[in-house]
Chain A
Amino acid sequence: MAIYGTALLSLCLLVGIFVGKLIGILIGVNANVGGVGIAMLLLILLSERLQKSGRLEPPSERGIIFWSTIYIPIVVAMAASQNVLAAIKGGPLALIAGTVSVLVCFALVPLISRLGKTDTTPDAES
């Protein structure tokens, strides 16, 4: 049943956020540290295991897949609920600080990609 998949997904998220908050408290930061990332790892591990033992059947999988297909509309809704006005009203300092940091980070993507490649997989260079 689809609810099994959705329940598995929900449990992974809840555990992830919970652990993320605990990590936050441990290191003295009032934020959720990596909760979503932990939840993703949990889902990957658990679903791989359940699939291998044949306990995650296609009808249950649909309960997870639905949420990943509704992802883009959710992002659109997220965009529509951002404080765009405040971003624009922040004036030139906010605009320039935001823009420059984005551009610098864009430029760094290929640099770090190359770095890691020679470090970890020297034979995979094409």
Chain B
Amino acid sequence: MNTIIDVLESVLAKYALVTGFAVIGVTVWISYVLSDRLTKGRLHGSAIAIFIGLVLAYYGGIATGGSKGISDIKALAGVGIMGGAMLRDLAIVATAFGVRMDEFRKTGLSGIVSLFAGVIISFIVGATIAYAFGYRDAVSLTTIGGGAATYIVGPVTGSAIGASSEVIALSVAAGLVKSILVMTLTPFLAKYIGLDNPRSALIFGGLMGTTSGVAGGLAATDPKLVPYGAMTATFYTGLGCLLGPSVIFIAIRALF
């Protein structure tokens, strides 16, 4: 019996990406059945699938103590390859196929406004809440503010200005919370914020910034909007990493 399990495990581990396709395929199928039977399609299948993915990631973290969710389990490492940056970026770019160029041109200005507003407001919110929790030094306030932007901006900013590893870990956690919330809340809030056209999707991507959150949230809302949101979101982390350790840090240091 043990040998059978061993053989199975070695097959799954060796054919990692294929295993990933199979596991995710089954997950998506179950989600669409649930969406159909339980919610009569009101809760989109992809929203359920993303939620199940997050739950699996949580259990993966508990089971292995690793940082890559379910893909830290050896036999399921392929899920990590499938959902890793390489294939994710390839698929995001592919969604732009068939999009008209002028759609982007029309929204150029509000896209840029939303980017700056998104980055600066996230820093302010993050720093304010860090202040409320007793942090008083500009380095920690800026780093946690960066985490409220994205889980990349936080640590990049923190290591640039010399934050402690505890604060950097907090900023990563804040960024992860943001990304997960954007993935799960977007389909529910979309209709209240007018998120149903390319323009507002571009602005949404610029304000939220978390590529994974925006990609997941828009996929579960309306896949047609994905390229627009992803387009602006992809500039957000760069802008955050640029402004965080420089202008924003200097501004926060001037205040405290």
Contacts and interface: CB of A to CB of B under 8 A. Distances in A.
Same assembly: yes
B248 interface: no
Contact of A36 (B106, B199, B211, B241): B211
Given A75-B212, A80-B53, A82-B212, 17 more contacts: A9-B97, A31-B156, A40-B96, A44-B100, A67-B94, A76-B24, A80-B56, A80-B79, A81-B79, A84-B61, A87-B173, A93-B170, A102-B181, A102-B185, A106-B193, A109-B195, A116-B109
Interface in B64-109: 67-71, 79-80, 82-84, 87-101, 104, 106-107, 109
Given A30-B156, A102-B178, A116 B91 contact: no
Interface in B199-250: 199-200, 203-204, 207-208, 211-212, 215-216, 219, 223, 226-227, 230-232, 234-235, 237-239, 241-242
B118 interface: yes
Given A94-B174, A97-B177, A115-B113, A71 B92 contact: yes
B216 A75 contact: yes
Contacts of A95: 177
A121 interface: yes
What size tier do the contact residues of chain B reach?
A: 35 or more
B142 to A, nearest CB: 13
Contacts of A67: 90-91, 94
A76 B207 CA distance: 22
Nearest to B180: A87
Nearest to A28: B242
Q: 6 closest A-B pairs (Cβ-Cβ)?
A: A90-B173, A116-B110, A98-B177, A85-B61, A77-B83, A33-B238
A9 B177 contact: no
Contacts of B88: 74-75, 78
A95 B58 CA distance: 15
Contacts, number: 331
B207 A112 contact: yes
Interface of A: 9-10, 12-13, 16-17, 20, 23-24, 27-37, 39-41, 43-45, 47-48, 61, 64-68, 70-102, 104-110, 112-113, 115-117, 119-121
Interface stretch (B3-11, B33-41, B121-129): B121-129
13 contacts: A39-B89, A40-B96, A40-B234, A76-B46, A80-B56, A81-B60, A85-B58, A91-B170, A101-B149, A106-B193, A116-B109, A116-B110, A116-B199
A93 B117 contact: no
Interface of B: 20-21, 24-25, 27-28, 46, 49-58, 60-62, 67-71, 79-80, 82-84, 87-101, 104, 106-107, 109-110, 113-114, 117-118, 121-122, 125-126, 129-130, 133, 144, 147-149, 152, 156, 169-170, 172-183, 185, 189, 193-195, 199-200, 203-204, 207-208, 211-212, 215-216, 219, 223, 226-227, 230-232, 234-235, 237-239, 241-242
